[in-house]
C-alpha cells in the first residue's frame, strides 16, 4: 500500500503497471498458471527439443563417423536415415508399411464401421441397443490382445515356441497369413472400426431429419437422399474419424511388434524401437522427429478439412429425432452381419486367448488336456516360470507397478487438467491461458512411442539438478502425465467452460475469497468430471503399451510390458493370461466408469 | 446506503472498447436502469461496479470510498465490496440446497447458526420459496430459481443490489409478477439498485432513473418520462418505443415536414439547418375531413396502406410523401386499406434533431408555445 500511496494521484506509467500487476496477481490463478506453464514446458517441450537435438548432434561413440566432437552439429544421422544404403530398411520401407497399413485399415474400418453405424443408429435391426454397446468393445480392449490371439491361432514353424492351433491341427498357415501386413491390417481395422461406429453413428443420430424430410417432399428417393444429402453432411464426422485413426496407426507399436517381427515387417514405430534398442540415439531422434512431423501434418490437414466442412450445421433442434429405416426381409441378415462382426472382433480372440491358457497342447479338445497349471500351478515342467502366472511374484510386481504408476499419473493429470481448465478460463492474463492450452495439447500430435523416445533422450542421464530417471518409476509417471495432458486438459477445460463463471462470480460477490470458492464451489460442482478425468486416463493407461515399452525396465514393468516380455520369451500361455487380465481390467473399468458417471465413456476413450 | 459514482470510466479489451467516457451517478437508494441494445456496454458497466471487471481508465467510487481507479492503482476485490449481484442465468450453486444457497453469504459473514436460520427463513418466506428449502436448484422452475437468486442476495442485506437482466429468462406473466416483486423489494429494503436490461418496458416500469447506453457511451440519463418524451438524440428516440418512432428527414418533400420546418425557421433561424424530426406513433391523429383539422397542428395528406390489430390497440400504416409512417391507436380506426385521409400531429409532439441527431432544445421552446 505504501508504494501505491507514494504514487497515488500520479497516474503515471508506473502506477498503471502497478495497477495491472495488482489485478493480475489479485488471485492465485495467475501464479498457479505460471507455475504450471513452467512445469509443462519442462515436461513436454524440453524432451521434444532434446530428441530433435539428438538428431542433429553427434552422439557418444559416433565421433569417428561424423568427424565431429560429441555434441557437435552433424547431418550424419539425417543422411543415414534418409539416404544411406540402409535408409531403405530403416526408414523408407517402414514408412511405406506404416502408410499402406494405415490406409488399408481406414478403408476397411470405414466399410465395416459405416455400415454398422447405420444399422445400429438408423434401422430396425434386432438388438440395436445391445449392439450399440457390444460393437464398441473391441476399442476398449488393447489392440495387441488381438495380435496375441492371432498368433495363438495362426503361428507357424517360422518362429519357435508353442505352435499355433492350425499348425497343431496339421495345417501350416503361410507366412503372409500368419505374420506381417495382412494380419496387422485386419487387426487394426477390427480395433478401429468401433471408432467409426462411434463418431459416424453419433453424427447420424444427431442428424436433423428435417433436412431429409425437405428432400423427400421435393421428391427425392431414398438413395438420392443418402447420396446427396446425408453423405455430404456426414463428411466432417468421417474426416475426423479417418484422421484420428491415421494418427493412431502412426504410433501403433504392439500389434506390429508381435506380428511383424517374425517376418521383419517394420513400421515406423518398430523401427524406432529397434534403433533405441541398438543405441542408435541419433537415428532414433531422426525417426521420432519424422513420426512427430507426420502426426503434426495429419492434424493440420484435419484442422483444415474440418474447418472447411464446419460451414454447414447438421444438428437440428426438434428435427434431430431418431428416424429408422425398415429393413424388411434384410432384418435378420443385418443382425447376422453385426453378430459376426462381434464374434470375430471380440468373441473369437478372447475365447482363443482364454482357451490357450487352460490347455496343455494347442487345439486338442480332450478333457485331460485342460489344466489350470498356467494360472495357479506349481513345480511345472518348464525351464523357467515354473509356477502359474498368479503365483509369480513378477506378475504381482507388474500389477502393483501398473496400479501405482498409472494410478498416480492419472490422479495428477486429472487434477492438473482441471487446474489448466480453470486457469485458461479465469486468468486475466490471456497469453498465459493460450500457452497452457496449446502446450498441454501438444503431446496429442506426438505418437506415444516418439514421446517416450523423447523422454528417454532427456532423462536417460542426469542433467543439472535432475538425476537420471531411466530405470525408475518417475520417468514412467512423468511421461504418462505429459502424455495424458491433452485429454485431461480438454476434459478440465470443457468442464470449466460448461460451468461458466457465474456460479463462482456469484460466490465472489457474496464475499467468498479464492480458496473458499475453490473448495466450496468449484471442486464440489466439478466432482464428477474430476472423477471422469482421473478414470479415463487410468483405463487408457492400463492398456497402453507404446509409451511404456521404451521407458520400462524389468524392475519397473507394468502389466503390458511384462506380457510383452513374456511374448519375447515365448511363454505364450502366461503372456495370454496377463493380456486377458489387462483386457478385463480395461473393459470392466470402462463399464464401471460408465455406471459411476452415468455417461457413455466409450466416446471419450481417446487413449 | 451509499451511492455509486463513475467518473470518465473506460473499459477496453485489447483493441475493442466496451465502455468509454462514462460519467454516471447512482444516488443512494435509487433504482437505476441501464438500458441499451446488446453489446452497448451495460453489462460491462454492471460488472465493473461489482468488481468482476477492472477499469481501463477513470474511477469508480461507492459512497466516498474509491474502489477502482487505475490512476491510483486502487482496486477493491469484489468479495470486499459488500454488494449483491443477480445474474441473468441465476448462477445458483447446483450442489447446494435452496436453504444453503440462500444462507451462503451469511455463513461467510460468520453469522451464528440460529441467527442464520432465522434470517434465511425470513427472506425465503418473503419471496415465497420457503417450502423449497430442502430442494436443489435443478428441481425448481425458472421463476422459483429466479426468486432463490434474489433471496440469496437479499439475505446478506447488501448496500447495493446489482441485477443483470434477471427477468429475461421468464415467461411474460411471471416477468410481470417479478417486476412488481422487485419494486416491492426496493421499497421495503431501500437498497440502491442497478438494473441492466434491454427491455424498455421493464426499464420504464421499474426505474426511478434510466441510463440509456449505446456503443459504450451514455446517451441519456433521465426519468422514464424524460427518456420517452424528450429523447436526447435520435438513438434514444428510436431505441425506446414500440412501434418505433417515425423519423422524417428535413430534406423530404413532405407537407408535414416542410410545414414544421417553415414554422420553426420563422421563429428560430438556427433550427432551419439540416436535421430530422421524430413523431411518436401514438401522437398521430387521422381525419377523413380536411375541415376538421386543427389549425395549430401540422398535417399532411396520407393513404392507409395497412392496418395491424395488436389486441386492444391498432397499428395503422400510413403512406405520406413517399414514405411509410406508423400510427398507434387504442380506438378502433374506422378506415380501410386504400383510404385517402389526413394525418395530423400536435406541435408539442414533434421531436427535432439537428444534423448530428442531437435534440434541439430551442425547438422544444418554440413548439411548446405553439401548443399554447
* Side-by-side strand order, sheet with B16-26: B16-26, B4-13, B57-62, B65-69, B74-75
Distance of CA B18 to the CA centre of its chain: 18
* CB atoms closer than 10 angstroms to residue A325: 14
Q: What cell numbers appear for A169 in the block?
A: 491341427
Q: Which among A8, A147, A141, A15 has a CA at the least distance from the CA of A587?
A: A141
Query: What residues in B contact A529, CB-CB < 8 Å?
Result: none
Non-local CB neighbours of B188 within 8 Å, separated by 6+ positions = none
Range of the domain at B168: 4-239
Q: B169 and B85 in one domain?
A: yes
Cross-chain Cβ contact B109/A16 below 8 Å: no
Cross-chain Cβ contact B108/A510 below 8 Å: yes
Q: B145 and B124 in one domain?
A: yes
Cross-chain Cβ contact A509/B83 below 8 Å: yes
Last residue of a domain, one of B239, B254, B286: B239
DSSP codes joined into one string, A244-278: HHHHHHHT--HHHHHHHGGGT---HHHHHHHHHHT
Nearest CA in chain A to B106: A510
Task: Report the alpha-carbon distance of residue B42 to residue A566 in Å, rounded.
Answer: 68
Task: Report the alpha-carbon distance of residue A272 to residue A250 in Å, rounded.
Answer: 12
Query: What residues in A contact B89, CB-CB < 8 Å?
Result: 500, 502
Q: Does residue A523 belong to the interface with chain B, where contact is any CB pair within 8 Å?
A: no
How far apart are the CA of B148 and the nearest CA of chain A, in angstroms?
Answer: 13
The β-bridge partners of A67 are none
Q: What cell numbers appear for A279 in the block?
A: 543405441
* Under 8 Å between Cβ of A452 and A550: yes
Q: B161 and B58 in one domain?
A: yes
Cross-chain Cβ contact B77/A22 below 8 Å: no
Go through chain A and tell me how many residues it has: 607
- Is the previous residue joined to A536 through a cis bond, with omega within 30 degrees of 0? no
Q: B293 and B213 in one domain?
A: no
The confidence score (pLDDT) of residue A316 equals 45
Helices and strands, counts by H and E, chain A: 34, 0
Q: What is the ipTM of this complex?
A: 0.81
Name the percent of chain A in helix, strand, coil, to the closest 5. 75, 0, 25
End-to-end alpha-carbon separation of chain B, Å? Answer: 44
Last residue of a domain, one of B210, B239, B268: B239
Task: Report the alpha-carbon distance of residue B124 to residue B108 in Å, rounded.
Answer: 18
Hey, which residues 18-57 in chain A have their CB within 8 Å of chain B?
A: 18-20, 22-23, 26
Task: Report the alpha-carbon distance of residue A421 to residue A495 in Å, rounded.
Answer: 8
Cross-chain Cβ contact B153/A10 below 8 Å: no
How far apart are the CA of A18 and the nearest CA of chain B, in angstroms?
Answer: 6
- Of A15, A509, A511, Cβ closest to residue B73: A15
Interface of B with A (CB under 8 A): 50-52, 54, 70-75, 77-85, 87, 89, 91-95, 104-105, 108-109, 152-153, 156, 162
DSSP codes joined into one string, B243-274: SPPEEEETTS--HHHHHHHHHHHHH-GGGGSS
Q: What cell numbers appear for A320 in the block?
A: 434431430
Domains in chain B, number: 2
Cross-chain Cβ contact B78/A509 below 8 Å: yes
Cross-chain Cβ contact A19/B73 below 8 Å: yes
Non-local CB neighbours of A82 within 8 Å, separated by 6+ positions = A91, A286
- Of B75, B94, B105, Cβ closest to residue A510: B105
Name the percent of chain B in helix, strand, coil, to the closest 5. 35, 30, 35
How far apart are the CA of B35 and the nearest CA of chain A, in angstroms?
Answer: 21
Nearest CA in chain A to B152: A510
Non-local CB neighbours of B79 within 8 Å, separated by 6+ positions = A508, A509, A510, A511, A512, A513
Cross-chain Cβ contact B84/A509 below 8 Å: yes
* Under 8 Å between Cβ of A533 and A488: yes
**Eight-state DSSP code of residue A127:** T
How far apart are the CA of B2 and the nearest CA of chain A, in angstroms?
Answer: 17
Integer angstrom CA distances of residue B358 from B211, B274, B276, B352: 16, 12, 10, 8
Burial class (CB within 10 angstroms; exposed 0-12, middle 13-18, buried 19+) of A332:
exposed
Query: What residues in B contact A506, CB-CB < 8 Å?
Result: 85, 87, 91-93, 152
Cross-chain Cβ contact B75/A503 below 8 Å: no
Q: B305 and B352 in one domain?
A: yes
Q: Does residue A371 belong to the interface with chain B, where contact is any CB pair within 8 Å?
A: no
The confidence score (pLDDT) of residue A7 equals 42
Give the CA-trace dihedral at A53, A57, A59, A61, to 10 degrees: 170
How far apart are the CA of A488 and the nearest CA of chain B, in angstroms?
Answer: 23
Task: Report the alpha-carbon distance of residue B281 to residue A332 in Å, rounded.
Answer: 70
Cross-chain Cβ contact A505/B52 below 8 Å: yes
pTM of the model: 0.76
How far apart are the CA of A520 and the nearest CA of chain B, in angstroms?
Answer: 9
Cross-chain Cβ contact B78/A505 below 8 Å: yes
* Under 8 Å between Cβ of A267 and A101: yes
Q: What cell numbers appear for B75 in the block?
A: 482496486
Cross-chain Cβ contact A506/B93 below 8 Å: yes
Taking the domain A77-410+448-471+534-602, which CATH number applies? 1.10.3720.10
How far apart are the CA of B83 and the nearest CA of chain A, in angstroms?
Answer: 6
* Under 8 Å between Cβ of B243 and B223: no
Q: B152 and B262 in one domain?
A: no
Q: Does residue A467 belong to the interface with chain B, where contact is any CB pair within 8 Å?
A: no
Task: Indicate which CATH number applies to the domain containing B234.
Answer: 3.40.50.300
Q: B59 and B166 in one domain?
A: yes
- Of A23, A505, A511, Cβ closest to residue B108: A511
**Eight-state DSSP code of residue B48:** H
Provide the residue ranges of all domains of chain A, joining segments of one domain with +: 77-410+448-471+534-602
- Of A11, A516, A525, Cβ closest to residue B93: A525
Q: Does residue A584 belong to the interface with chain B, where contact is any CB pair within 8 Å?
A: no
How far apart are the CA of A320 and the nearest CA of chain B, in angstroms?
Answer: 24
Query: What residues in B contact A525, CB-CB < 8 Å?
Result: 93-95
Task: Report the alpha-carbon distance of residue A494 to residue A323 in Å, rounded.
Answer: 30
**Eight-state DSSP code of residue A595:** H
The β-bridge partners of B276 are B249, B353
Query: What residues in B contact A524, CB-CB < 8 Å?
Result: 95
**Could you say which residues of chain A have pLDDT below 50?**
1-9, 313-319, 601-607
Q: Does residue A4 belong to the interface with chain B, where contact is any CB pair within 8 Å?
A: yes
Q: B223 and B267 in one domain?
A: no
Q: B112 and B64 in one domain?
A: yes
- Of B71, B75, B87, Cβ closest to residue A22: B75
How many CB contacts within 8 angstroms connect chain A with chain B? 97
Q: Does residue A510 belong to the interface with chain B, where contact is any CB pair within 8 Å?
A: yes
Helix (H) or strand (E) run with residue B343 in it: strand B340-345
Query: What residues in A contact B49, CB-CB < 8 Å?
Result: none
Task: Report the alpha-carbon distance of residue A267 to residue A252 in Å, rounded.
Answer: 9
- Of A9, A500, A521, Cβ closest to residue B89: A500
Cross-chain Cβ contact A502/B89 below 8 Å: yes
Task: Render pLDDT for A422-470 as a digit per residue (tens, 0 to 9).
Answer: 888 888 778 888 899 888 888 887 888 888 888 888 888 888 788 888 8
Query: What residues in B contact A10, CB-CB < 8 Å?
Result: 71
Query: What residues in B contact A18, CB-CB < 8 Å?
Result: 73
* Under 8 Å between Cβ of B158 and B150: no
Residue with cell 531411466: A470
- Of A26, A503, A507, Cβ closest to residue B77: A26
How far apart are the CA of A388 and the nearest CA of chain B, in angstroms?
Answer: 50
Strands, E, within A149-197: which ranges? Answer: none
How far apart are the CA of B168 and the nearest CA of chain A, in angstroms?
Answer: 16
Query: What residues in A contact B153, CB-CB < 8 Å?
Result: 510
Task: Report the alpha-carbon distance of residue A207 to residue A215 in Å, rounded.
Answer: 14
Q: Locate all alpha helices (DSSP H) within chain B, ordered by sequence.
A: 42-50, 98-108, 113-126, 142-154, 172-189, 200-206, 224-229, 234-239, 255-267, 361-371
Helix (H) or strand (E) run with residue A286 in it: helix A281-309
Taking only the tens of pLDDT, chain B with its 372 residues reads 578 999 999 999 888 899 999 999 999 999 999 999 998 999 999 999 999 999 999 999 998 899 999 999 999 999 888 888 999 888 899 989 999 999 998 988 888 999 999 999 998 988 889 999 999 999 999 889 988 998 998 888 888 999 999 888 778 888 888 888 888 888 887 889 999 999 998 999 999 999 999 999 999 999 999 999 999 999 999 999 988 999 988 877 778 888 888 888 888 777 766 688 999 999 999 988 888 888 778 889 999 999 999 998 999 999 988 889 999 999 988 899 999 999 999 988 889 998 889 998 878 888 887 755
Amino acid at each position: 500500500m505504501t508504494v501505491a500511496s507514494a504514487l497515488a494521484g500520479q497516474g503515471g506509467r508506473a502506477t498503471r503497471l502497478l495497477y495491472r500487476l495488482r489485478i493480475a496477481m489479485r488471485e492465485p490463478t495467475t501464479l498457479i498458471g505460471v507455475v504450471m506453464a513452467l512445469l509443462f514446458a519442462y515436461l513436454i517441450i524440453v524432451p521434444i527439443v532434446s530428441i530433435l537435438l539428438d538428431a542433429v548432434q553427434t552422439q557418444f561413440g559416433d565421433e569417428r563417423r561424423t568427424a565431429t566432437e560429441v555434441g557437435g552439429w552433424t547431418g550424419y544421422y539425417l543422411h543415414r536415415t534418409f539416404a544411406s544404403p540402409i535408409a531403405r530398411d530403416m526408414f523408407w520401407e517402414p514408412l511405406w508399411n506404416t502408410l499402406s497399413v494405415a490406409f488399408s485399415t481406414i478403408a476397411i474400418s470405414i466399410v465395416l464401421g459405416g455400415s454398422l453405424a447405420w444399422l445400429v443408429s438408423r434401422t430396425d435391426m434386432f438388438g440395436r441397443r445391445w449392439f450399440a454397446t457390444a460393437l464398441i468393445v473391441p476399442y476398449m480392449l488393447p489392440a495387441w490382445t488381438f495380435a496375441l490371439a492371432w498368433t495363438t491361432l495362426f503361428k507357424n514353424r517360422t518362429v519357435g515356441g508353442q505352435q499355433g492351433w492350425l499348425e497343431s491341427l496339421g495345417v501350416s498357415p503361410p507366412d503372409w497369413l500368419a505374420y506381417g501386413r495382412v494380419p496387422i491390417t485386419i487387426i487394426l481395422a477390427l480395433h478401429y472400426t468401433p471408432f467409426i461406429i462411434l463418431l459416424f453413428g453419433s453424427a447420424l443420430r444427431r442428424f436433423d431429419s428435417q433436412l431429409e424430410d425437405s428432400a423427400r417432399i421435393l421428391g427425392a428417393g431414398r438413395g438420392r437422399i443418402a447420396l446427396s444429402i446425408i453423405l455430404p453432411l456426414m463428411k466432417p464426422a468421417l474426416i475426423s474419424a479417418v484422421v484420428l485413426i491415421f494418427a493412431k496407426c502412426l504410433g501403433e507399436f504392439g500389434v506390429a511388434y508381435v506380428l511383424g517381427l517374425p517376418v521383419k515387417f517394420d513400421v515406423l514405430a518398430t523401427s524406432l524401437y529397434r534403433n533405441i534398442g541398438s543405441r542408435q540415439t541419433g537415428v532414433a531422434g531422426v525417426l521420432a522427429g519424422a513420426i512427430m512431423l507426420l502426426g503434426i501434418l495429419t492434424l493440420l490437414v484435419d484442422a483444415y478439412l474440418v474447418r472447411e466442412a464446419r460451414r454447414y450445421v447438421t444438428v437440428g433442434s426438434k428435427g434431430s429425432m431418431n428416424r429408422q429405416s425398415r429393413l424388411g426381409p434384410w432384418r435378420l441378415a443385418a443382425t447376422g452381419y453385426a453378430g459376426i462382426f462381434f464374434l470375430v472382433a471380440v468373441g473369437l480372440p478372447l475365447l482363443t486367448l482364454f482357451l490357450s491358457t487352460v490347455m496343455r497342447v494347442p487345439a486338442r479338445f480332450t478333457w485331460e488336456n485342460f489344466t489350470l497349471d498356467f494360472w495357479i500351478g506349481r513345480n511345472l515342467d518348464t525351464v523357467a516360470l515354473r509356477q502359474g502366472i498368479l503365483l509369480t511374484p513378477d506378475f504381482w510386481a507388474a500389477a502393483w507397478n501398473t496400479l501405482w504408476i498409472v494410478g498416480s499419473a492419472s490422479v495428477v493429470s486429472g487434477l492438473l487438467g482441471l487446474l489448466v481448465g480453470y486457469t485458461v478460463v479465469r486468468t486475466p492474463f490471456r497469453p498465459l491461458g493460450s500457452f497452457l492450452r496449446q502446450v498441454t495439447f501438444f503431446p496429442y500430435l506426438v505418437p506415444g512411442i516418439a514421446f517416450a523416445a523423447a523422454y528417454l533422450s532427456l532423462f536417460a542421464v542426469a542433467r543439472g539438478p535432475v538425476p537420471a530417471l531411466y530405470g525408475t518409476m518417475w520417468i514412467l509417471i512423468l511421461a504418462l502425465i505429459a502424455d495424458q495432458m491433452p485429454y485431461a486438459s480438454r476434459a478440465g477445460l470443457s468442464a470449466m467452460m460448461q460451468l461458466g463463471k457465474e456460479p463462482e462470480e456469484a460466490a465472489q460477490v457474496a464475499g467468498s475469497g479464492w480458496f473458499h470458492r475453490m473448495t466450496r464451489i468449484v471442486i464440489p460442482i466439478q466432482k464428477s468430471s474430476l472423477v471422469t478425468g482421473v478414470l479415463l486416463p487410468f483405463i487408457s493407461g492400463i492398456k497402453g503399451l507404446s509409451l511404456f515399452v521404451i521407458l520400462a525396465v524389468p524392475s519397473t514393468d507394468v502389466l503390458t510390458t511384462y506380457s510383452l516380455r513374456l511374448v519375447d520369451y515365448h511363454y505364450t500361455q502366461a503372456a495370454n493370461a496377463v493380456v486377458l487380465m489387462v483386457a478385463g481390467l480395461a473393459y470392466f473399468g470402462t463399464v464401471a466408469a460408465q455406471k459411476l458417471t452415468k455417461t457413455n465413456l466409450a466416446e471419450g476413450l481417446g487413449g | 446506503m451509499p451511492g455509486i459514482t463513475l467518473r470518465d470510466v473506460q473499459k477496453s479489451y485489447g483493441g475493442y472498447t466496451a465502455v468509454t467516457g462514462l460519467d454516471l451517478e447512482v444516488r443512494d437508494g435509487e433504482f437505476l436502469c441501464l438500458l441499451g441494445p446488446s453489446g452497448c456496454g451495460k453489462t460491462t458497466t454492471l460488472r465493473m461496479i461489482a468488481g468482476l471487471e477492472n477499469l481501463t481508465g477513470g474511477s469508480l467510487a461507492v459512497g466516498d470510498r474509491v474502489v477502482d481507479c487505475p490512476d491510483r492503482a486502487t482496486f477493491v476485490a469484489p468479495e470486499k465490496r459488500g454488494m449483491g449481484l443477480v445474474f441473468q442465468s441465476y448462477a445458483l450453486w447446483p450442489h447446494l440446497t435452496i436453504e444453503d444457497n440462500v444462507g451462503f453469504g451469511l455463513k461467510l459473514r460468520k453469522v451464528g447458526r440460529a441467527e442464520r436460520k432465522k434470517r434465511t427463513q425470513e427472506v425465503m418466506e418473503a419471496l415465497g420459496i420457503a417450502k423449497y428449502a430442502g430442494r436443489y436448484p435443478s428441481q425448481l422452475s425458472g421463476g422459483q430459481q429466479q426468486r432463490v437468486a434474489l433471496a440469496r442476495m437479499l439475505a446478506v442485506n447488501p448496500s447495493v443490489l446489482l441485477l443483470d437482466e434477471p427477468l429475461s429468462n421468464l415467461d411474460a406473466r411471471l416477468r410481470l409478477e417479478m417486476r412488481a416483486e422487485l419494486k416491492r423489494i426496493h421499497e421495503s429494503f431501500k437498497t440502491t439498485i442497478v438494473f441492466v436490461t434491454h427491455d424498455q418496458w421493464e426499464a420504464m416500469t421499474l426505474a426511478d432513473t434510466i441510463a440509456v447506453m449505446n456503443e459504450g457511451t451514455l446517451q441519456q440519463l433521465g426519468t422514464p418520462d424524460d427518456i420517452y418524451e424528450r429523447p436526447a438524440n435520435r438513438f434514444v428516440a428510436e431505441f425506446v418505443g414500440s412501434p418505433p418512432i417515425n423519423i422524417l428527414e428535413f430534406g423530404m418533400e413532405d407537407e408535414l415536414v416542410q410545414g414544421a420546418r417553415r414554422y420553426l425557421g420563422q421563429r428560430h433561424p438556427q433550427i432551419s439547418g439540416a436535421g430530422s424530426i421524430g413523431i411518436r406513433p401514438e401522437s398521430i391523429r387521422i381525419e377523413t375531413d380536411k375541415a376538421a383539422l386543427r389549425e395549430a397542428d401540422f398535417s399532411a395528406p396520407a393513404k392507409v396502406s395497412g392496418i395491424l390489430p395488436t389486441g386492444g390497440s391498432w397499428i395503422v400504416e400510413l403512406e405520406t410523401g413517399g414514405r411509410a409512417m406508423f400510427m398507434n391507436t387504442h380506438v378502433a380506426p374506422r378506415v380501410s386499406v386504400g383510404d385517402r385521409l389526413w394525418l395530423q400531429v400536435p406541435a408539442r409532439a414533434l421531436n427535432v434533431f439537428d444534423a448530428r441527431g442531437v435534440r434541439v432544445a430551442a425547438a422544444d421552446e418554440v413548439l411548446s408555445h405553439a401548443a399554447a
